[in-house]
Amino acid sequence: MFGHAEHSHAAEIVGAERSITSLAELASIVRAASSALGRSPNPHAIWANAAQLLEGNAKAYVGSEEQLIAGIQPSHHGPEAWSPAFIDSIVQTLRRARDLRALAACISDSPCPAAFICGSMSYGPFYRVRTKTDGSASDVDLLLVTRSMSDVTRILLDISSLYFLSPTDLEQAIDAATMAAKYAEVPDYEFHTKVRCWRTVADAAIEHTPGIAPAYALSLHFVTPIGLRSATRIGSAPFVSIRCGVPDGFRTGGHTMNIAVSFTGSPLVNSRQISPWRLGLYREEHQPLAVVGDSLYIGRFASRLSPCTDILWTDRAVEDVLNRFQRRISERLQAERSLPIRQPRFVWLAHPRSRRFAPHVVRRLRSLDAIELQRSAFAAPR
C-alpha cells in the first residue's frame, strides 16, 4: 500500500468524498490529475490511488494496485506524455454506455426483439475499452436480432437520427442491407456493418481531455431468430455472413484465419472462406460450433454470446434460444470433463480473447459451468 501522505494528495486531486454524476465532472477530474502529475514525485502512486478512488465512485473494480500501475503506458502524443489507461477506460466505457442507451431509445419501436452487447464492452468494461497506442479506440460490438433481414434497413433508418453517427457510413450500410436482403441465397444470415461515431462532431464530455480518442466504430451484427437458433446449435451447417466493407485480415485468395477455442483454451485455426460478393459486399462461411475429436470448439459467431451474454433487451422467444444454447454448452462441458484424459476445462477459456478479459470479469466467470445470461449493467429500462 502507498503512504498516507500520497493517498491524501490523490484524494485532494480527484475529490474522494464526492460521487461522479456526469462525464463532464469525470473529465475535470482527469484534467486535475493530469496537472498534478507533473509536480508529483511519484506519479505512479498518484495514478494508482486516483484509480482506487475513481473505482469506488464509478464501480469499476479491476484488480490490484499492481495491475493498475502496469496499465499506465506512454500515450500516442509522445514519449513525455503519459496516458492513465485505467481512467481512460472509464471515460471510454461510460461514453459507449451513454451512446448505446441513445441508440436503444431510437429503435424501441423497431422490429428488433433482442439486442446483446459483445466484444470488449462485455468482457472488458472499464479495462479493455480504451484509447489504443495508435490513437484509435475500441469498437462497440452490438448483436441485434431482427424479425427478418428485410427489417435491417428500417432499423438503420431509425438510428440515422443520432447526430454522432457518420451519415456517410449509414448511407452505405442502408444500401448494403437492402442489397443483401434482395440477393442473399439464404433467408437467415448475419449482416455485418460498421458505423463510425463522433467522427464529424465533437463530444463535449472529452473536448478538453487530452489523450482520449474521440471517434470509435459501432460494429453492428444483425441476425434473425432462426439464424440465431442455427448458429447456437452444435454441428449445424456452416453459417453465412454478409459483410459491408473489407473484412479484417482479408487477403487476396479469400482465405483468412478463423480461431475457434475449446474449453481447455486450445485454439483450432482453420480457414474462413471469404469472397467478394456484390458491389463492396463480402460473403463469408464459418462454423460457429464445431466438434473435432473429443472437443467442442466455439467459433466466431457463437463466441459473441459466450462465455457471458450481456442482454440489453430480449423477448421470450429469443430468451428460449439462449437458454437452450446455455444448456447445450453446459452439458457438453460436463461430458468433456468426464473424459479419461483429465484437463482443466472452463467455459470462459473457450474464447479467442480470454487472455484479454478484465480481471473482474474472470473472477466472476471462473467458477461457472455454463454461459452466464445476464441483463447488461448498461441497459436502460425498456
pLDDT of the residue at 367: 82
Determine contact, residues 260/267, Cβ cutoff 8 Å: yes
Nearest 5 degrees, angle CA 136-CA 138-CA 140? 135
Provide the residue ranges of all domains of the chain, joining segments of one domain with +: 4-90, 110-382
Determine contact, residues 133/172, Cβ cutoff 8 Å: no
pLDDT of the residue at 85: 64
Determine contact, residues 45/225, Cβ cutoff 8 Å: no
Residues facing 297 on adjacent strands: 290
pLDDT of the residue at 111: 94
Indicate yes or no: pTM above 0.85: no
User: CB-hemisphere CA count at 13 Å for 373?
Assistant: 15
For residue 146, report the phi and psi dihedrals to the nearest 5 degrees.
Answer: -115, 155
Region of residue 212 (phi > 0: left; psi between -120 and 50: alpha; otherwise: beta):
beta
pLDDT of the residue at 280: 83
List the one residue out of 109, 143, 112, 64 whose CA is nearest residue 325.
143
Quote the DSSP letter at residue 348: G
pLDDT one digit per residue (tens) for the chain, 382 residues: 223 333 333 334 333 334 444 444 554 555 555 455 444 444 444 444 444 445 444 443 334 333 433 443 333 333 333 334 666 777 788 788 889 989 999 998 899 999 999 999 999 887 788 888 778 899 999 999 999 999 999 999 999 999 999 999 999 999 999 999 999 989 899 999 999 999 989 887 777 666 778 899 999 999 999 999 999 999 888 899 999 987 665 554 444 456 899 999 999 877 567 888 988 899 988 889 999 999 999 998 999 999 999 999 999 999 999 999 999 999 999 999 999 988 899 999 999 999 888 777 888 888 888 899 988 877 876 5
Determine contact, residues 214/198, Cβ cutoff 8 Å: yes
Nearest 5 degrees, angle CA 97-CA 101-CA 103? 115
Residues constituting the chain = 382
User: 125 Cβ partners below 8 Å, 6+ apart?
Assistant: 60, 93, 358, 361, 377, 378
User: 327 Cβ partners below 8 Å, 6+ apart?
Assistant: 370
Nearest 5 degrees, angle CA 287-CA 289-CA 290? 80
Which cell numbers in the block locate residue 186?
439464404
**Sheet of strand 114-118: strand arrangement:** 289-292, 295-298, 255-261, 267-276, 281-286, 239-244, 190-197, 216-223, 140-145, 114-118, 308-313, 372-375
Quote the DSSP letter at residue 125: T
Which cell numbers in the block locate residue 49?
490511488
Determine contact, residues 168/202, Cβ cutoff 8 Å: no
pLDDT of the residue at 249: 57
pLDDT of the residue at 250: 58
Task: Return d(Cα 349, Cα 124) in angstroms, integer.
Answer: 15
Alpha-carbon dihedral 309, 310, 311, 317, rounded to 10 degrees? 0
pLDDT of the residue at 29: 56
